[in-house]
Amino acid sequence: MTMIGETWSLVGTSIATTMFFWTMFDNYFPDHLRSSILKKLASFVYPYINITFNEFIGEDSDEYMDLKRSDAYAAIETYLSGKSSKQARNLKAVVVKDSSQPVQLSMGENEGITDEFEGIRFSWAVKKNTSRTQSISIYPEIDEKRYYKLTFHESHRDFVCGTYINHVMQEGKAIMVSKRQRKLYTNNPSKNWESYRAQKWSHATFEHPATFDTLAMESKKKEEIINDLIKFSQGKEYYAKIGKAWKRGYLLYGPPGTGKSSMIAAMANHLGYDIYDLELTTVKDNTELRRLLIETTGKSIIVIEGIDCSLDLTGQRKKEKKKANDEEAKDPISKMTKGEEDSNSKVTLSGLLNFIDGLWSAIGGERIIVFTTNYVEKLDAALIRRGRMDKHIELSYCGFEAFKVLAKNYLDVVSHTLFATIGRLLDETNITPADVAENLMPKSMNEDAETCLKKLIEALETAKEEAEKKAEEEAQSKAEKEEREARRCES
């Protein structure tokens, strides 16, 4: 009995003492001092800091649709995905929109993992708040709010706020970009633009298999182009520093079948960019061109193939067009079937140049523009001067080094006794990589590498004979013309 009484008296004294000190603390310490002491006490007991990243951001109103999935949450999810699949026991498969991977694994609710960066350990956990919304229903709706919680020691506060979070965001976004499904856009004719939900660009998934490894060209030239592309793609700060728009123009020229389109695909694959394939003949005028280009996004290659055929660039081109128009006048059916967009296209060289110089600079960065042509000599100097087209790349007939790339890719052959003959013939005649590739591709199960190489030798010999015959005929007709001219002068 006495013991119980003593215990109660002790409890009573402790409570009274605590209340006394608390009253003193409350009455005599100024607010700022009080909160600082409390913080110190709390940090002594639990020296960790938590930061939460909500899955949805925006107005938390009655309308769920007002909420937008947070980019930061998505970046963290992607950043942690690789680590989660190794550490977490409870995993969730998430279907990521526009990703080349069917699913991405992320940690399930109430799971936690650790991340180490620059020798410091951080804990990440996925949490879920479940609250019942006030609604008139027998079964109240359940509102789930998921969030990532980052926990770290308070001594790393500055490092986390200044460096670590940036690292997580950048890395996460870079992984998202590298895994995203890329798109090939083509412009829609403007007559469809105004209809309901009509888009200026249609897109399909871009899955061209060409890479710089499969591209046949001299290795030195290839390396130079790859370095140029990488330097461009990593040049955000550099372009900002020199005060230039983050853009680069390439002019690819060479005969048909030398790999211009394949190179564009290889560039897009190498950088992970989308492609906008701009068909200029369906663009009515400069205003439409502007509207189309404004809708392109960063990390993209805007391609205008056969630029010499798309615009009235030179006097020669105009002459050709006049001739074509004369022919159309004689044949009204061909005129009708050619369609009206072609004849209505009023995109001008100056419109295009304005875009390249001015407008392009205004719509933001990381865009490459590529023009291709089979006839570089036909292009207007204003279009291809440096600054507009930063790099001119010639894709030419197949040389021995380019042939070896094709032989390796198509036949898995890196050396062969027939290579010497092929090398000699390639020096003596012009054949496109497309023709070489065609001969190297086995047409049936019975065709082995040697058969294909022999087929190529035959094709090269035929090409050589034809070229010699053509040169002879040309020389003969030139001689005849000169003779006729000489006779005319004599008479």
Ligand X SMILES: Nc1ncnc2c1ncn2[C@@H]1O[C@H](COP(=O)(O)OP(=O)(O)OP(=O)(O)O)[C@@H](O)[C@H]1O
Residue 426 interacting partner from Mg ion, ligand X, none (CB closer than 5 to 8 Å by kind): none
Which residues have CB under 8 Å from 149's CB, separation 6+? 50, 51, 52, 53, 124, 125, 126, 127
- Coil, strand or helix: which one is 76? helix
Which residues have CB under 8 Å from 147's CB, separation 6+? 52, 53, 54, 55, 73, 126, 127, 128, 129
Instruction: Provide the residue count of the chain.
Output: 491
417 vs 415: CA distance, rounded Å:
7
Q: Which of 215, 225, 275, 413 binds ligand X (CB under 6 A)?
A: 215
Residue 262 contacts ligand X per CB under 6 A: yes
Residue 76 vs 252, nearer CB to Mg ion = 252
Nearest Cα to Cα of residue 120 among 45, 48, 41: 48
String marking each residue 227-256 x if it binds ligand X according to CB under 6 A: -----------------------------x
Which structure tokens are listed for 446?
A: 């019975």
Nearest Cα to Cα of residue 215 among 398, 369, 459: 398
Residue 314 contacts ligand X per CB under 6 A: no
200 vs 193: CA distance, rounded Å:
6
The region of 27-35, 240-248, 260-268, 343-351 touching ligand X under the rule CB under 6 A is: 260-268
Q: What end-to-end distance do the CA atoms of the chain give, in Å?
A: 152
Residue 429 contacts Mg ion per CB under 5 A: no
Residue 256 vs 364, nearer CB to ligand X = 256
Strands (E), 58-111: 68-69, 91-94, 104-107
Q: Which of 260, 317, 367, 388 binds ligand X (CB under 6 A)?
A: 260
How many residues belong to the site for ligand X (CB under 6 A)?
16
Residue 187 vs 261, nearer CB to Mg ion = 261
Q: What is the closest distance, in whole angstroms, from the C-beta atom of residue 305 to Mg ion in the complex?
A: 6
Q: What is the closest distance, in whole angstroms, from the C-beta atom of residue 439 to ligand X in the complex?
A: 11
Q: Which of 81, 214, 261, 300 binds Mg ion (CB under 5 A)?
A: 261
Q: What is the closest distance, in whole angstroms, from the C-beta atom of residue 257 to Mg ion in the complex?
A: 8
Residue 374 contacts ligand X per CB under 6 A: yes
Taking only Cα atoms into account, the Rg of the chain, rounded to an integer number of angstroms, comes to 35
Q: Which of 437, 452, 453, 459 binds ligand X (CB under 6 A)?
A: 437
- Give the rounded distance of the alpha carbon of 301 from its chain centre: 8
Which residue do the tokens 């030239």 mark? Answer: 221
Q: Which of 80, 187, 245, 257 binds ligand X (CB under 6 A)?
A: 257
270 vs 214: CA distance, rounded Å:
12
Angle formed at CA 216 by CA 215 and CA 217, multiple of 5 degrees:
110
Residue 215 interacting partner from ligand X, Mg ion, none (CB closer than 5 to 8 Å by kind): ligand X
Residue 376 contacts ligand X per CB under 6 A: no
Residue 281 vs 374, nearer CB to ligand X = 374
Q: Which of 169, 363, 434, 457 binds ligand X (CB under 6 A)?
A: 434
Residue 168 vs 217, nearer CB to ligand X = 217
Q: What is the closest distance, in whole angstroms, from the C-beta atom of residue 417 to ligand X in the complex?
A: 24
Which structure tokens are listed for 360?
A: 């392009």
Residue 256 interacting partner from ligand X, Mg ion, none (CB closer than 5 to 8 Å by kind): ligand X
Q: What is the closest distance, in whole angstroms, from the C-beta atom of residue 280 to ligand X in the complex?
A: 15
Residue 282 contacts ligand X per CB under 6 A: no
The region of 25-33, 75-83, 84-92, 431-439 touching ligand X under the rule CB under 6 A is: 431-439
Residue 247 interacting partner from ligand X, Mg ion, none (CB closer than 5 to 8 Å by kind): none
DSSP state letters, 359-382:
IHHHT-S-EEEEEEES-GGGS-HH
Residue 261 contacts ligand X per CB under 6 A: yes
Q: Rounded to 5, what percent of the chain is helix, strand, coil?
A: 55, 20, 30
Cβ atoms within 10 Å of 428's Cβ, excluding its own: 13
314 vs 377: CA distance, rounded Å:
10
Residue 433 contacts ligand X per CB under 6 A: yes
Residue 172 contacts ligand X per CB under 6 A: no
- Coil, strand or helix: which one is 415? coil
279 vs 261: CA distance, rounded Å:
14
Q: What is the closest distance, in whole angstroms, from the C-beta atom of residue 261 to Mg ion in the complex?
A: 3
Residues that bind Mg ion (CB under 5 A): 260-261
Residues lying near ligand X in the complex (CB under 6 A): 214-217, 256-262, 374, 395, 433-434, 437
